[in-house]
A and B are shown apart, each in its own frame.
Chain A
């Protein structure tokens, strides 16, 4: 790892985390990633997949590669930053490094630090790491492969059901005020028939300086495995958060996600789900609320590689003045993937002038016996609904807040009923309240 090109952003400081005694397969993985990244560089709007999201601004920030020394502020715990509920198994990551593993894990569940496994038992991750994600056309994912140092590994043995949700609190922290970039790499493997719920909170420690978190999560679900993946992204306004999740689903497996994005300067949630077994199904849902100076990008690719799989994408979002949202969703139905059922819906609401939404819902279909559809709408709040509420004596500001909340809650209901859903709804309400307060101040 000595051939780092000095002029390429983010690798110019020449630090490579790869240990000298790394296994050959890992060194190969890093080398391949580096070569993709050095060839392509930071994606610009000229790259189709990044048409509406430019990373050119990152060049101007003097990032240094995170050294793994940052801890939670004041050595505290992550409770304050976490998204309930209390009964969850809690795992905390600071700048992508695992800060502790819960002690009381049920049998058949293994949670470990990637760095630890790579150093001690690389053979545990070898069958999966870098084999689920295809990074040839993902320069940032490739950069992650080159520079990854740590992350979370969750292995659930076949038939094991993890009853309590696993709550991963991913904190970005820049205690010395130095802009940092980190490249967390997570691996989640569920054996045949295994079940788990993963809750992810991506937040920033108070007072954080510029940060770039460029994460890759690889997920492999065995036959009939079920993973419910709930994500809450509320980074600081200084944070750039790029997340690429690549999942492969076996026969009859289910992968359901809900992503709520409410904070961060630039957040890109990119998911590529490959349905590799008949009867597999995935639901990718989410909501977002972007304010001034925020740019939220949701990019989804669902790849139907076999017959009889189903997919459903539903995203709803609101954009306030000065905010920008991007939704790119794609359904690929390969040849012979007959009887595919794939749907996609994106609804965006512009709350004010100077708000922007860019949508690109794509279908790429090579089989005839399919039912695929997509829908997209962009507009403002329904004035008839507003009138209805105001006619009943509700003040305009309250009525608007109520309607925006109803618009988003509709999709938050994808979260299973219970304390988790309440926690997500709570975040939406808090976002609204903050918006309401600032609107009040400025008007």
Chain B
């Protein structure tokens, strides 16, 4: 049997109609349209950056000019005119930056409330420090003081450039170099803001750090830059969530996230991405071309990526781990839902360099409507990766006969003691499973819920509590208990 109408409706609810579609009207302070060295100097000047930062941006920009936009991914979109976009937009109230939540533009706060992330409530109830990014400038950072007392640095990266230049200079671009790929290089040249986190030696960060990204200003590309460093023996869990207002023009988002873990350190990075996916014909919607990469530099270190991807018209994203330190661990858990005309080409890379490195990949793709989804992954065992292990499982669920689900894994092994296992399945909700449930007196509706629930469970389980709720809402089809 095909997926029931209700299941389809649930998916439509989860990813089709976009309930966060509104535009906040705030006058903004824009750089002139287009991209050239002057734009980059403008951004750098706006941020009052030191010379080394500007030089790095210009170096990246000059390299970008020599690069070709990639076309190997299985997504199609009209050519992007990089000269027809604004590369800097900040809320005008930036000059008298808010000192506390009370000073934050009430209209901004209302926007967040509509999104269901009331900062104050979170501060009080959830114990989450939120570095809320509205377009390109961080407008409110909470719990910063408390964290700083413990030695945790959690601030906008533009601030870190001034306050901790030696840390930024040492680590920025050390995982994703300026010449890495077309979109990452573009980000290096024009990034406006993002988060910077440093967790000192031996500290287990007591709260989950969280950033909400918003894309608001029309025609503004968002170029976030996030850098997280977990020093020896430390632990941090970082949450990233995204929603964007509805509009017709396509928007480009090319973020870069770099994670670095030293000996015995761990970073857990969770994302719920629910940007505007375009209307049911695929008009509008965000182009999400993101480079995320973590380096397990130290022994026994760990990086764990969890993502729930329900939004964006086009997604191009491969959160990766470079397992350099002996015994280091990389994990990638992903649920991706594409509906209507959405396209997603996502996956991960696990590069095993050190001895006894381990990685685990669990990817669940649900494709509905006329959407196309691709899992693209690489597992590479280098000759010195003695005793390394990888297990990969990627499953796809198809709902409707107009959608596509594809799996493109690359497995490269150059060490005999390394073990790689890869499994993938593609199916719709199985008649056998349904029959089994029905036969035992479980109503069809509950049975489908049970099966879909089971399909995503492994990934959703890994989300921190704060995100699990939102993820469940977004996945919609799975965990409510009454899906049919």
Selected from A363, A367, A380, the residue in CB contact (under 8 A) with B407 is A363
Tell whether A360 pairs with B417 under 8 Å between CB atoms, given A353-B383, A368-B400, A377-B422.
no
Closest to B424 in A: A374
B218 at the interface (CB under 8 A from A): no
B398–A371 contact, CB under 8 A?
Answer: no
Question: What separation, in Å, do the CA atoms of A378 and B109 have in the docked complex?
Answer: 53
Question: What separation, in Å, do the CA atoms of A362 and B376 have in the docked complex?
Answer: 9
B340 at the interface (CB under 8 A from A): no
Question: What separation, in Å, do the CA atoms of A353 and B417 have in the docked complex?
Answer: 9
Selected from B381, B401, B411, B421, the residue in CB contact (under 8 A) with A360 is B411
CB distance from A338 to the nearest CB of B (A): 7
B427–A364 contact, CB under 8 A?
Answer: no
Question: What separation, in Å, do the CA atoms of A279 and B407 have in the docked complex?
Answer: 25
Selected from A351, A364, A371, A377, the residue in CB contact (under 8 A) with B416 is A351
A372–B425 contact, CB under 8 A?
Answer: yes
A373–B424 contact, CB under 8 A?
Answer: yes
Residues on B with C-beta less than 8 A from A348 are 413
Residues on A with C-beta less than 8 A from B195 are none
B404–A376 contact, CB under 8 A?
Answer: no
A433 at the interface (CB under 8 A from B): no
Tell whether A356 pairs with B414 under 8 Å between CB atoms, given A365-B426, A368-B2.
yes
B407–A374 contact, CB under 8 A?
Answer: yes
A378–B411 contact, CB under 8 A?
Answer: yes
A350 at the interface (CB under 8 A from B): yes
B423 at the interface (CB under 8 A from A): yes
Residues on A with C-beta less than 8 A from B408 are 360, 362
Tell whether A365 pairs with B424 under 8 Å between CB atoms, given A353-B416, A377-B419, A380-B416.
no
Tell whether A336 pairs with B416 under 8 Å between CB atoms, given A368-B428, A373-B425, A377-B422.
no
Interface size on A, residues (CB 8 A): 36
Question: What separation, in Å, do the CA atoms of A201 and B424 have in the docked complex?
Answer: 34
Question: What separation, in Å, do the CA atoms of A35 and B91 have in the docked complex?
Answer: 57
Selected from B417, B419, B421, B427, the residue in CB contact (under 8 A) with A371 is B427
Instruction: Mark interface residues in A339-370 (1 if CB within 8 Å of B CB, else 0).
Output: 00000000010111111111111111111111
Interface of chain A, main secondary structure: strand
A352–B416 contact, CB under 8 A?
Answer: yes
B409–A361 contact, CB under 8 A?
Answer: yes
A335 at the interface (CB under 8 A from B): yes
A336–B401 contact, CB under 8 A?
Answer: yes
B422–A369 contact, CB under 8 A?
Answer: no
CB distance from A99 to the nearest CB of B (A): 42
Tell whether A360 pairs with B410 under 8 Å between CB atoms, given A354-B383, A369-B401, A374-B424.
yes
B396 at the interface (CB under 8 A from A): yes
B399 at the interface (CB under 8 A from A): yes
Closest to B423 in A: A375
Closest to A321 in B: B416
A368–B419 contact, CB under 8 A?
Answer: no
Selected from A364, A369, A372, A378, the residue in CB contact (under 8 A) with B413 is A378
Count, A-B residue pairs, CB within 8 A: 121
A379 at the interface (CB under 8 A from B): yes
A373–B423 contact, CB under 8 A?
Answer: yes
Question: What separation, in Å, do the CA atoms of A358 and B403 have in the docked complex?
Answer: 30
B166 at the interface (CB under 8 A from A): no
Tell whether A48 pairs with B426 under 8 Å between CB atoms, given A367-B398, A376-B420.
no
B426–A373 contact, CB under 8 A?
Answer: yes
Residues on A with C-beta less than 8 A from B3 are 368
Instruction: Mark interface residues in A71-110 (1 if CB within 8 Å of B CB, else 0).
Output: 0000000000000000000000000000000000000000
B412–A358 contact, CB under 8 A?
Answer: yes
A350–B416 contact, CB under 8 A?
Answer: yes
B418–A369 contact, CB under 8 A?
Answer: no
Closest to A363 in B: B407
B72 at the interface (CB under 8 A from A): yes
Residues on B with C-beta less than 8 A from A376 are 409, 411, 420-422
Residues on A with C-beta less than 8 A from B411 are 357-361, 376, 378
B415 at the interface (CB under 8 A from A): yes
B405 at the interface (CB under 8 A from A): yes
Tell whether A369 pairs with B428 under 8 Å between CB atoms, given A335-B401, A356-B413.
yes
Question: What separation, in Å, do the CA atoms of A360 and B411 have in the docked complex?
Answer: 6
A368–B409 contact, CB under 8 A?
Answer: no
B406 at the interface (CB under 8 A from A): yes
Residues on B with C-beta less than 8 A from A351 are 416
Tell whether A365 pairs with B405 under 8 Å between CB atoms, given A373-B425, A377-B419, A378-B420.
yes
Question: What separation, in Å, do the CA atoms of A398 and B430 have in the docked complex?
Answer: 46
Residues on B with C-beta less than 8 A from A379 are 416, 418-421
Q: Which of A359-411 contact B (CB under 8 A)?
A: 359-380
Question: What separation, in Å, do the CA atoms of A243 and B396 have in the docked complex?
Answer: 33
A362–B406 contact, CB under 8 A?
Answer: yes
CB distance from A98 to the nearest CB of B (A): 41
A368–B415 contact, CB under 8 A?
Answer: no
Binding site for B on A (CB under 8 A): 48, 335-336, 338, 348, 350-380
Q: Can you sample 9 A-B contacts with CB below 8 Å?
A: A336-B401, A338-B401, A363-B405, A363-B426, A368-B398, A370-B398, A373-B426, A375-B422, A378-B420
12 extra interface residue pairs, beta carbon distance < 8 Å, beyond A335-B402, A358-B411, A369-B401: A350-B415, A352-B416, A353-B383, A354-B414, A361-B424, A365-B426, A372-B425, A374-B423, A375-B421, A376-B409, A377-B420, A377-B421
Binding site for A on B (CB under 8 A): 2-3, 72, 381, 383, 396, 398-428, 430
Pick the 4 closest A-B CB pairs, nearest first. Answer: A350-B416, A368-B398, A379-B419, A359-B411
